A and B are shown apart, each in its own frame.
Chain A
Amino acid sequence: GQQVMQIPQYQHVQEGEDFTTYCNSSTTLSNIQWYKQRPGGHPVFLIQLVKSGEVKKQKRLTFQFGEAKKNSSLHITATQTTDVGTYFCAGPLDSGYSTLTFGKGTMLLVSP
């Protein structure tokens, strides 16, 4: 079945260091979404990428969608303690846009 894989599973950085998480799909995706989940919280939508090669920025966060639309990345520049949480990528299930298959997430820990 369709799979979305994320690496690394876990990363611990010092505040001010950069962070990148990578997402790979076994199939071509029509779009990819990114979510953030704070410890003890629920996933919150960050962004959606649709176009091949698309790059979007949100302050210190940069999101990329690969040319083949099978991979994506999230890069955080100069991490802050507020960036702590688990970052998930998600793509539409084969059954349609209304359902998503999620990667297992990358847990980010930032030490001050």
Chain B
Amino acid sequence: NAGVTQTPKFQVLKTGQSMTLQCAQDMNHEYMSWYRQDPGMGLRLIHYSVGAGITDQGEVPNGYNVSRSTTEDFPLRLLSAAPSQTSVYFCASSYSWGGSGYEQYFGPGTRLTVT
């Protein structure tokens, strides 16, 4: 299994440009999430999905869109990039084990710079 894959690894955008960060998992996990990581801020949840066709907002959803048409894929779209969106983006997938928790499997991350 490849686990969780993310593309691209690095991206530079100009303010106002749009782009899609790709995320795919081959573990048949039901749950997928997008986080952004900024220095000293930890990981903050952007959007998440509990299954194909179902998405919801996390803590910092503004400026981002998601969709989940298949179990495997969960792309993150930046509508109009802003310098404040410069960050490292992690996609994660998870499954329920024993009904008590959801261990998250993280992808390698996409480092995005908006100039």
Contact = CB atoms under 8 A, between A and B. Distances in A.
Interface of A: 1, 6, 9, 30-31, 33, 35, 41-45, 48, 50, 88, 90, 92-93, 95-105
A76 to B, nearest CB: 20
B45 interface: yes
B106 A98 contact: no
Contact of A104 (B41, B50, B56, B109): B41
Contacts of A45: 103-105
Interface of B: 30-31, 33, 35, 40-45, 48, 50, 56, 58-59, 90, 92, 94, 96, 100-109
A9 B92 CA distance: 24
Contact of A98 (B42, B43, B48, B105): B48
B101 A42 contact: no
Contact of B94 (A6, A88, A98): A98
Contacts of B59: 1, 101
A22 to B, nearest CB: 15
Q: Give me the 3 closest cross-chain CB pairs, A-B, nearest first.
A: A104-B42, A42-B106, A102-B43
A43 B90 contact: yes
B100 A99 contact: no
Nearest to B92: A43
B68 to A, nearest CB: 13
Contacts of B35: 102
Interface of A is mostly: strand
Contacts of A101: 45, 59
Given A95-B56, A99-B33, A99-B45, A30 B106 contact: no
A38 B12 CA distance: 24
A98 B49 CA distance: 9
Contact of B100 (A30, A44, A104): A30
Contacts of A43: 43, 90, 92, 104, 106
Given A42-B108, A45-B103, A97 B96 contact: yes
A97 B50 CA distance: 10
Given A88-B42, A98-B50, A104-B40, A42 B109 contact: yes
